[in-house]
Structure 1
Amino acid sequence: MPFARLFLRFVFTWALVAGLAHGGYAAAPVRLGAINPLTGKLANHGQEILSGIEVAVDEINEGGGLAGRPVQLVSRDDQSQPETAVNQAQDLIYRKKVTGLTGGYVDSLVGPISQLALKARIPYVASASLQKDLTLEGKNPFFFRISHLDGVTEPLCRFLPEAMPGKKAAILHAATPGATEFSQVLFQCLRRAGVELPLVEKFRPGTPDFAPFLLKMRSLHADVLISAGFFPDHLILVRQIREQNMPLTAYVGPWGIGYPEFIQQMGSAAENLLGMSAWHPDFPYPGTEEASRRFSETFRAKYGRDPTSTVMHGYTAAKVLLEAMRTVIQQGAPLDGPHIADALRAMDATLPLGRVQFDAKGDPRHYRQVVVQIQNGRLVPVYPADRAQGTWIPMSGPTN
C-alpha cells in the first residue's frame, strides 16, 4: 500500500480514537440556547436558572450525549430587559441555529421569546413562567413551561383560610404581568373562601419606601400581608415592617422568601416569615430523595453552594427538553421543532421537582408548591399536611 494512503489511514484512525477518548462523539453537537437575566434587577434569579441548566447539560454530556451527539450550551443575557430578550432570542435562533430554547424568568421576558419560538417553529421550555395568557387556548404548540400560576395560588388559597380564619389580609404586588395576575387570582379565590381583603395595591419593582402602604394597613387593621414582590423588595419591606413594629399575624412572600440568601441577609428579622417553594434539598418531592441528593452533591461540587428552588426550575426545564430531543433521535425522526414538541407533549417523567407532564397547551399538569416558614433560621414546610415537617407559627407582632 502506498505510503500516502497508509498515512491518511493512520491520521483518520488516530482522529477517531482521539474523539472516542474525549467523550466518544462522532456526530455534530446539538445546540441548546438559554436566555436569562444575568445582569440587571433580576440577575440573581437568572444566574441561578443558568446554573441549573448547566448541570443538566453536563449530566447529558457525561452520559454520552444525545445518542452520541454532544450538547453545546449557548447562553445569552437578556439584561432583565424585554427588548434585549428579543434580540438575544433572534441571535440564537437565526445566527447560532439552536435546536431549542430554555431558561427565562418573569413573563415580561418569557412572553416575547415564546412568540419568536412560535414564528421559528422551535421548542421553548421556560423555567419560570406564570401568566395564563401565554398558553391561552393552546395557540403556541412550541411553548412549554415548568411552572404555572395555579401551582402557587391553589396551595395559598387553601392554607390561608384554614390557618388564619377571621383575619384581614392585604395584598401588595409588583406591577409585572405575572405578579398582577397572581394578585387578581388570589384575591378572587380568597374572597370566595370568606377572607376579608380591605387593601390591594401594586408597586413598581425597586420601590425604596413602603411606608404609605404600611400606614394604610395599620389604619384598616389588616394583620396578614401577602407580598407578591421579588427578593430585593422583600428586603426593604420586611425591614420597614420590623422598624415600624407592625402588628402582623403573618407575612407571606411567594417569591424570594424561601431562599438561604434571604435568611442570611435578614438574620432574626426573617423569623416566622412565610414563603413558597417548589423544591429544596431538605424536602424533595416524595420518591425522588436519592435523585435530589445526587443533584445537590453535584451542584455543590460544581458551584460551592447549595442549590435553590430556582436552580431546580432551570435544571428541570433543560432536562425535559434534552430528554425530548433524545427521544426524537432514538426514534430516527428529524430533530426539528415539530418532532421535539410532540415528544414533549408525550412526556411523563418524575424528576426531583416532581412529576413532569404537559397538557395540550404546554402547561404542567402536576406542578404544586408548598408553603414554607422560616423557623430558627431554616426553611420548614408547613403546608399541605402530606408535605409538612412542622406547624406554622404566627408572627409575634410588634418587636423592640
Structure 2
Amino acid sequence: MLCCKRFPIIACLLLLAFWCYSTFAVAATIKIGEINPLTGRLAKQGSEIHQGVAVAVAEVNDRGGLNGRQVELISRDDQSQPDVAISRAEELCGWKKVVALTGGYNDSLVGPISEVAKKYEVPYVASASLQKQLTQRENPYFFRVANLHGFVQPLCGILSESLRPQRLALLHTATPGSTEFARDLRSCLQSRGIAVMLMEKFRPGTPDFTPLIAKLASMNMDVIVSSGFFADHLLLVRQLKENRVSPKAYIGPFGIAYESFVREMGENAEYLYSTFAWNPGISNPGTEVASKDFVERFRSMFHREPNTTNMHGYTSTRAVLAAMQNVLHQKKPLTGPNIRQSLAELDLVLPMERVAFDKHGDPHHYQHLVVQIQKGKFEVVYPPERSTASAIYPMPRWSQRK
C-alpha cells in the first residue's frame, strides 16, 4: 500500500528529470573556438580579427542562434607565439571540445593551429592566411577565406594594363608570405612583359631605409611595390620624402588601406596605392544592405569604423556558422566530419566575397581591389568595372606638393 502511494511521487520526479534533461539538451550552447594574437607583436591585427568574429557570433545569437541554440565563443590569446598557439589549440580541441575553430592571423600561427585541428578532426576556417604551403598539405579540416592569388592578380593587372612601369622595384620582407607574394607577382608581371629591375628583401621593422633608398635612387626606379607592413610603410615613405626620391607610384598591398595609416601619415599618404577586399561603402556587388548592417552592428559594439581585417574575422566565422546551420538543417549531429563536409559544399554570398572553397580549402572568389588615397579617401582604381575614380599617375613629386 505504501509502495502504491509513493508511485505517483516517483513518477512525477522521473517526469521532471526527463523534462529538465530534454530542455537542457535543446538549449545547450554550441561551442566554437577562436585563437588570435591578442598580445605580442601582432596584437593589433589579432584584436581586429577577434572583433569581426565577435560581430558574427552576436549576429547569429541575436537571431535566435542555430536551431534555437546559442553559440558560445571561446576565445584564446596565442600571444603572437607559435608554441602558445599550439597549446591553445590543444586546450580548445582536446579539453573544451569545441566543434569548430575560426580566427587566426599570420601563417606562423595559423599553420600550427591547423595541424592540431587536423589531429582532433575539428574544422578550422582561418581568417587571415596566405602561405600556399598550408593548403598544399593534406589537411581536409583546414579552410581559409583569403589567399595570395587575391592580392597578386589585381596588382599584376593594374601594373601591366595601366601603369606599365619601365623600371619597377619589388621590395618584400623576409617572411614566408611576403616572399611568396613577391615571387608570384614577379612571375605574373614577367608573363605580361613587365620586367622587375630590382627585387630586394628587408627585415620587418627595419629602423632605417636610407641605404635601400639610395639604391632605388641610383637605379632611377619609377614604381616601387613594397610588401612590407604598416610600420614599414610609415618609415619608408617618410624617408623617401626626406631624401627627395619621388617615384611615379608607391604601392603597398599590406598595411596602407587603413584609416589609421592615413591619420598617421597625414598629407604624405596622398596618392599612395594599396589594396583591400572590403571597406565600409565598398562591398561585393549585391551585398550592400548586409554590408551596411555589419558596419552598424560593429559601430554599436566597438564605437569605431570597421576595416578590412575586421571583415576577414567576420567572414571566416560566418562560414563556420553557415556550415553548422546546414548540418543541423539536415538533422545530422554536429561532428567534425559533418561540419567539414558542409564547409566543402558551402556557397555563401557575403559582403567581402562569395565564400566557396576548392578541394584544398582555398577560396574560389577572394579578390582584392586596388585603391589609391585621394584627398584622404580610398578610391578604387582597379579593376575598371569597380572603379570609383581614375588613378592619378604619375603622382606629383614631393617638391610639387604643398
1:173 matched residue in structure 2: 172
- Please tell me whether residue 100 in structure 1 is matched to residue 107 in structure 2: no
Partner amino acid, structure 1, of 2:263: Q
State the 1:227 CA deviation.
0.9
Query: Which stretch shows the higher mean deviation, 54-63 or 190-199?
Result: 190-199
Task: Tell me if structure 1 keeps the 8 A contact 2:100–2:336.
Answer: yes
Q: What SS does the corresponding residue of 1:34 show, helix, strand or coil?
A: strand
| 1:187-215 Cα shifts (integer Å, max 9, x gaps) | 11112222232211112221111111111
Could you tell me whether the CA contact under 8 Å between 1:281 and 1:292 is conserved in 2?
Answer: yes
Partner of 1:155: 154
The equivalent of 2:52 in structure 1 is 52
Q: What TM-score results when the alignment is normalised by the length of structure 2?
A: 0.92
* TM-score where L is the length of structure 1: 0.93
Gaps of 5+ in 2: none
CA contact (8 A) 1:108 1:176 kept: no
Q: Match for 1:304: what amino acid?
A: H
* Aligned residue in 2 for 1:72: 72
Distance of 2:142 and 2:19 partners within structure 1: 43
Deviation, 1:248, is 0.6
Match of residue 353 from structure 2? 354
Tell me, in whole angstroms, the C-alpha distance in 2 between the residues paired with 1:380 and 1:325: 37
Distance of 2:19 and 2:132 partners within structure 1: 54
Partner of 1:111: 111
**Paired residues, what number?**
393
**TM-fit CA distance, 1:14:** 12
The change in CA–CA distance for 1:196 and 1:398 in structure 2 (over 3 A counts) is farther
- In structure 2, the partner of 1:182 is 181
Q: Retained in 2: the 8 A contact 1:173–1:229?
A: yes
Secondary structure in 2 matching 1:139: coil
Q: Which whole-Å deviations, capped at 9, do the CAs of 1:213-232 have from their partners, x for residues lacking one?
A: 11111111112111111112
Give the secondary structure class of the aligned counterpart of 1:373. strand
User: Is the contact between residue 25 and residue 69 of structure 1 (CA under 8 Å) also seen in structure 2?
Assistant: no
Task: Using the TM superposition, give the Cα deviation of residue 316 of structure 1 relative to its aligned residue in structure 2, in angstroms.
Answer: 0.5
**1:25 & 1:5 partners in 2: Cα distance?**
22
* SS in structure 1 of the partner of residue 154 of structure 2: helix
Give the match's secondary structure for 2:250. strand
**TM-fit CA distance, 1:6:** 12
- Percent of aligned pairs sharing the same letter: 49
Rounded Cα–Cα distance in structure 1 between residues aligned with 2:271 and 2:9: 77
Q: Residue 273 of structure 1 corresponds to which residue in structure 2?
A: 272
Taking the aligned partners of 1:256 and 1:11, their CA distance within structure 2 comes to 58
CA distance in 2, matches of 1:34, 1:50: 8
2: CA distance, partners of 1:10 / 1:236: 71
Tell me the amino acid that sits aligned with residue 280 of structure 1.
N
Report runs of 4+ in structure 1 exceeding 6 Å deviation: 1-16
Please tell me whether the aligned partners of residues 274 and 371 of structure 1 are also in contact (alpha carbons under 8 angstroms): yes
Structure 1, unaligned runs of 5 or more: none
Bigger CA radius of gyration: 2
Taking the aligned partners of 1:240 and 1:25, their CA distance within structure 2 comes to 62
Secondary structure of the 1:386 match is helix
Structure 1 CA distance for aligned equivalents of residues 396 and 212 of structure 2: 21
1:128-186: CA deviation from partner (whole Å, max 9, x where unpaired): 111111111x6111000000111110111111122222431111111111111001101
Could you tell me how far apart the structure 1 residues matched to 2:93 and 2:202 are? 35
